[in-house]
């Protein structure tokens, strides 16, 4: 086996090993609670596993995963990097995931296809020493409001109170023709104008006297609705050894944040 072939085999082996260690776990509820579904390979249809349109949070162990709101990796898709995502609402995928697959390490992904940065892993490393850092501010961040539209059937009155514009226009044209046929010269012009005004009044009145009634028509209405009743995450600022720090948390902290000696949060 020549050097080129050995390099290709080694690269393929490393790629397979990386994929073998890749794993993603979906949870039925926010904050990694409720029923869960874990996979180490692509799933073209969550219906086959009884988990279609159920995921509300996700934990990505390794590699980049593409999650889509339709089967066979179609519809709207978002790329997740390794990390913990306590809520899928912010990316518009809450209870909407239908398929998932691993992206190749060489795959080029546009920035706008990535999900928001995942929440960091706050787990304690070994026996590292921990400290309490005072919280300076906490800000709840809600997901982007969704614009929802619907169509309503609406009845529009055509009773006596409504002006009959088409009738007025037709009456004005008729009145103009009649007025033009009366007199000559300047008198004819005056008669024409008078005929237009009188004809408009007659036409409008005829429309009103023609009887009441209603017409049913479709009307589209829209409103902005919050994507979630609770915040997607909390933006927390704290200080440690005179230095400011900032972190996103899945739930509001107390008066302090537990950190290691580098000021990194720990749970």
Q: What is the CATH number of the domain that holds 42?
A: 2.60.20.10
Q: Based on the domain organization, do 157 and 214 belong to the same domain?
A: yes
Domain count along the chain? 3
- The pLDDT value recorded for residue 124 is 77
Per-residue pLDDT of the chain (267 residues; tens, 9 = 90+): 555 555 444 444 444 444 456 889 999 998 888 999 999 999 999 999 999 999 999 999 888 999 999 999 999 999 998 888 888 987 889 999 999 999 998 999 998 899 887 766 677 777 889 999 999 999 887 765 666 677 777 777 765 544 444 444 444 443 444 444 444 444 444 444 444 444 444 444 444 444 557 787 777 777 766 555 667 778 889 999 999 988 878 788 899 999 998 888 887
* Angle value at C-alpha 51, between 45 and 56, nearest 5 degrees: 115
Q: Which domain holds residue 141?
A: 125-145+226-267
Q: Based on the domain organization, do 191 and 66 belong to the same domain?
A: no
- The pLDDT value recorded for residue 24 is 92
> Model-level pTM?
0.45
Q: Based on the domain organization, do 251 and 137 belong to the same domain?
A: yes
- The pLDDT value recorded for residue 136 is 94
- The pLDDT value recorded for residue 52 is 96
Long-range contacts of 41-44 (CB under 8 A, 24+ apart): 41/102, 42/73, 42/99, 42/100, 42/101, 42/102, 43/99, 43/100, 43/101, 44/71, 44/72, 44/73, 44/99, 44/101
Q: Based on the domain organization, do 161 and 130 belong to the same domain?
A: no
Q: Based on the domain organization, do 14 and 115 belong to the same domain?
A: yes
Final residue belonging to a domain, choices 67, 102, 119: 119
- Cα(33)–Cα(249) distance, integer angstroms: 16
- The pLDDT value recorded for residue 101 is 96
Q: Based on the domain organization, do 14 and 93 belong to the same domain?
A: yes
Q: Based on the domain organization, do 258 and 197 belong to the same domain?
A: no
How many Cβ atoms sit within 10 Å of the Cβ of residue 70?
Answer: 14
């Amino acid at each position: 086996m020549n050097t080129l072939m050995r390099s290709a085999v080694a690269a393929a082996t490393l790629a397979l090993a990386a994929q073998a260690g890749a794993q993603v776990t979906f949870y039925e509820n926010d904050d990694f609670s409720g029923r869960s579904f874990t996979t180490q390979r692509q799933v073209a249809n969550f219906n086959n596993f009884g988990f279609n349109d159920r995921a509300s949070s996700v934990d990505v162990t390794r590699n980049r995963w593409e999650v889509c709101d339709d089967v066979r990796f179609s519809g709207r898709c978002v790329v997740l990097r390794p990390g913990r995502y306590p809520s899928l609402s912010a990316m518009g995928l809450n209870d909407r995931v239908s398929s998932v697959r691993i992206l190749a390490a060489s795959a080029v992904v546009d920035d706008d296809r990535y999900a928001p940065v995942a929440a960091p892993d706050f787990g304690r490393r070994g026996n590292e020493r921990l400290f309490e850092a005072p919280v300076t501010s906490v800000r709840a961040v809600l997901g982007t409001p969704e614009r929802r539209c619907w169509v309503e059937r609406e009845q529009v009155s055509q009773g006596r109170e409504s002006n009959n514009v088409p009738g007025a226009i037709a009456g004005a044209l008729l009145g103009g023709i009649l007025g033009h046929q009366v007199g000559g010269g300047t008198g004819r012009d005056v008669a024409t104008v008078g005929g237009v005004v009188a004809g408009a009044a007659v036409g409008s009145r005829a429309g009103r006297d023609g009887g009441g009634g209603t017409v049913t028509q479709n009307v589209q209405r829209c409103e902005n609705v919050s994507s979630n009743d609770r915040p997607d995450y909390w933006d927390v600022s704290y200080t440690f050894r005179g230095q400011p720090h900032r972190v996103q948390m899945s739930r509001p902290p107390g008066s302090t944040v537990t950190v290691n000696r580098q000021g990194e949060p720990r749970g």
